Structure 1
Amino acid sequence: MLKTYNGMPAAELHGARWHKSRRSNSQGNCVEVAELPGGSVAMRNSRFPEGPALIYSRPEIEALILGAKDGDFDHLIAPN
């Protein structure tokens, strides 16, 4: 089994099924996520799919998603 670590090349995550948000724009400004064996979640920059992947635990991803749903990060969105 491959040992995963933050910053490892995303290309080394063989078999990862990468998904991106439906809100991704046509310029490719988005991230992609993949569930890994054991429940961890990898995240990569879609413009650099061979580049580094950040590896998060399931509780970390849950905190991020729930915080985003609650508006905790709305200050990072440019005003329309």
Structure 2
Amino acid sequence: KRGKALYNYGTIVPGMSDREGVSVFYRDPSGAVFHTYSSYARGIDMLNTAYNYLDLVPKGRDEDPDDTQGWVAYHDRY
């Protein structure tokens, strides 16, 4: 039985063991911690330098809408 996980401020039934995300925190001089930014899934593309460059070229990422990672050559799949 698959469990649930907290992701992007909600509860999901994950389809994989890990999901992408980034969070930024700030600690003020008194020691209080503030959560200032979070982004998940496609929202973290800006942190992937390769995608930033691909977005500049005529064909862009050239992704298949039904299989956006279809171009990936996995080293452990033959």
TM-score (norm 1): 0.26
Structure of greater Rg: 2
Flag the structure with higher helix content.
Answer: 1
